[in-house]
Amino acid sequence: MILEYFRNRRSVGWFFGAGLLGLVIIAFVALYFPDFMGDPATAAMRRGVAWVDGDAISASDFLDRYRQVAQQYQQQSGGQFSANLARQLGLPDQVAGDLVRARVLVREAERQGLQVTDAEVGTAIANSPTFQVEGAFIGAAAYLDLLRSARLDPRDFEDSVRSDLLATKLQALVTQSPHVSDFELLDEYRRRNESASLDVWFLSSAARLGGIEVTEAEARARYDEDPGAFERPVERRIRYFTLSEQTMAEEVNVRQREIQRYYDRNLFQYQMGERAEASHILLQPASEADEESTRTLAARLAERARTGEEFAELARTYSADEATAEDGGALGLFGPEEMLPEFSEAVFAMTPGEISNPIRTDYGFHVVRLESLEPAETRELSEVEGEIETRLRREKAAERLNERVLELETLVPGADRLEELTDDLTEGNPLVMIQESEFFGEQDVVFELASAEAAGTAFALEVGEVAGPVRLAAGFAFLEVIEEREPHVPDFDAVRTEVMDQVRNERAMEIARGDADAILAAIAAGETPATDPTPALDWFRGSSLGAAGVLPAAEDAVFDAAPDAMLGPFDAGRGYAVIRVTEVEPYDSAAFEEQKESFRSQMAEEKKARIWNAFLAGIEGRYEIRIDRQALNALIG
């Protein structure tokens, strides 16, 4: 164990990032245990949750990492995070994927012959701020006490540190010192620091579709020119049923005592403090020198309102608050905590109908008219009973949905037909129905399910196989592949609408191109175009040109052009763009020389990231990876 290293340690020469070790410690703290473990969870604890080449990732490792992620979500959601929400977000799969990736990296590092010594592990731990006091290692005894308080086995913890160090060494090996030439450096610096101001005309093809008629004869002639252009790839059809909270709502009931209990436990949600309805006029001094004159004007406006002038008209004329000026300065209803303290203090001391003296805040001077004050109140149960019942029904339905999905998932491997999953579902629940899809391709979105994932799942199966669950936008689907159609060219009648749309769009693009040419011709002749351009100020490569979108083909042309040059037309896919260059702001050569080496380092790091991401994308295919999704869901409760 690393304790021997600590006992004999005389110096620390290798620094390990404090953040990583801090997270490792947090990951093991018991912040998000399930309330209980049923049989599936117990089985998962024995057999593991994922495997890399048959090497199991244990349930305890999964829970350790999951608690870390759950804690972060708990903090971000203000305590509203739950196991059901975790499933909806796909967090169990995400955590398992991270663990698999870590295991793959360790395997790959070992395959590359990389090693981490006990001394390196000890140095990394000793240099972590987690185990330091005033810059010095806390000592072996305190180290063990800290691990013990976090319920950590020292060997397991040290193995996790060793794995992290192996992954770090592998990344360093894969991405070591990429070269960035002076030419690359200057070219990229120019790309990121040159800017231009442009006038852009975008001639949309969609706006020119109106009035374009395509006859059936014209469409048929297009089809006959090249029927192969309309060839369909391999397509499949599926039978499917879906489960959602809505379908599960038929199976749950909410009792009156549950509603009462929720109301009693969450009474604070239904207690509303005092609220005010008011309008204001905001005046903002341009500088400190204008402070007194702005205050004086605010006092005059207050007096004018008190003597009968319409407050709303004064707000429309004078208020600098653009969000409320058009509505006569109306702020609506608000509580004291919703406004700046000095504003609320003044307003909630007023009486309805009163107009305030100038109120100074960080925004300027406010003149306020108080419309009404509503006293604090608690909404009665009778007022919110429907809201609570809906909430509890939704929560119960979500729990029931996850239970059902897990139950059905266990039946999928042995199912020969979809009905074997639905027999007990359809009884008493008319919302669960088996339906059939139209034919779709592997890259299509299955229209009936609004899901691209369903298409990918269907094409990973044999005809006749059953699969699921497939995650949908609202719930899950289980499916059976019922038919496959080989690549084929459909007859004209099957694609008539598609052919007509294609011809119509081509003609609209031709019209847009003609209108773009007309703009260029008008400007060349010294005339004013029929349409006005849209300015694009401080435009950089890679940024959008308004409705025309990003036009890579235009970028070099813009920065090679002289002021007032006209460029285009550029095919923007949905129309054509014409560009007038009004100004080009070149890169600052002096700034480049000053920033050259730091920018080279930045580019090298970016190259490393690209190399590493490409490496990660390639290595997982070398290993047999399996994840038990049912076990993941069982473990989180």
Tens of pLDDT, residues 614-633 = 888 888 778 888 888 767 76
Give the residue with greater pLDDT, 511 vs 244: 511
pLDDT band at 546 (very low <50, low <70, confident <90, very high): confident
Average pLDDT of 422-450? 81
What Å distances lie between residue 568 and 35, 427, 435, 546, CA to CA?
66, 65, 51, 16
In CATH terms, are 3-176+623-635 and 195-207+492-585 the same topology? no
Token pair listed for 544: 């959008």
What average pLDDT does range 338-359 have in this prediction? 93
Token digits of residue 498? 């598609």
- Per-residue pLDDT band for 111 (boundaries 50, 70, 90) equals confident
The domain defined by 195-207+492-585 folds into Chitinase A; domain 3 (3.10.50)
Residues 274-375, CATH architecture:
Roll (3.10)
How large is the average pLDDT for residues 483-498? Answer: 93
Q: Delimit the domains of the chain by residue range.
A: 3-176+623-635, 195-207+492-585, 235-254+390-485, 274-375
Sign of the dihedral defined by the CA atoms of residues 39, 41, 43, 46, in that order: negative
Of 248, 255, 266, 247, the residue nearest 392 (C-alpha): 255
Average pLDDT, the chain: 85
Whole-angstrom distance, CA of residue 317 vs CA of residue 311: 10
Tokens linked to 475: 């719930």
CA 383 – CA 455 distance, rounded (Å): 46
Q: Which amino acid is at 225?
A: E
Provide φ and ψ at 404, rounded to 5°. Answer: -65, -45
Cα separation values, 624 from 50, 101, 107, 456, Å: 11, 12, 12, 20
Q: What is the CATH number of domain 235-254+390-485?
A: 3.10.50.40
- Is residue 141 within 8 A of residue 33, CB to CB? The reply is no
CA distances from 341 to 117, 319, 354 (A): 59, 21, 19
The label of the residue with tokens 């190259």 reads 607
DSSP 170: H
The bridge status of strand 195-204 relative to strand 235-243 is unpaired
Asked whether residue 170 carries a pLDDT value surpassing 70, the answer given is yes
Q: Please state the rounded mean pLDDT for residues 325-343.
A: 91
In the prediction, which pLDDT does 19 show? 39
User: Do 570 and 553 form a contact (C-beta atoms < 8 A)?
Assistant: yes
Query: 3-176+623-635: which CATH number, 3.40.50.920, 1.10.4030.10, 1.10.760.10, 3.40.225.10?
Result: 1.10.4030.10
Q: Mind listing the pLDDT tens digit for each residue in 226-239?
A: 999 999 999 999 99
Q: What proportions of the chain, in percent to the nearest 5, are helix, strand and coil? A: 55, 20, 30
Measured CA to CA in angstroms, residue 70 lies from 99, 127, 275 at distances of 15, 27, 36
What is the C-alpha to C-alpha distance for residues 119 and 125, in angstroms, rounded to an integer?
10
Placement of tokens 């489960």 in the chain: 243
Most confident range (mean pLDDT) of 86-100, 132-146, 613-627 is: 132-146
**What is the pLDDT confidence band of residue 427, given thresholds at 50, 70 and 90?**
low
What pLDDT was estimated at residue 266? 85
Give the start-end residues of each E strand in 473-540. Answer: 475-485, 534-539
| Residue in the block written with tokens 């504003």 | 343
What DSSP line would sit under 193-204, residue for residue?
H-EEEEEEEEEE
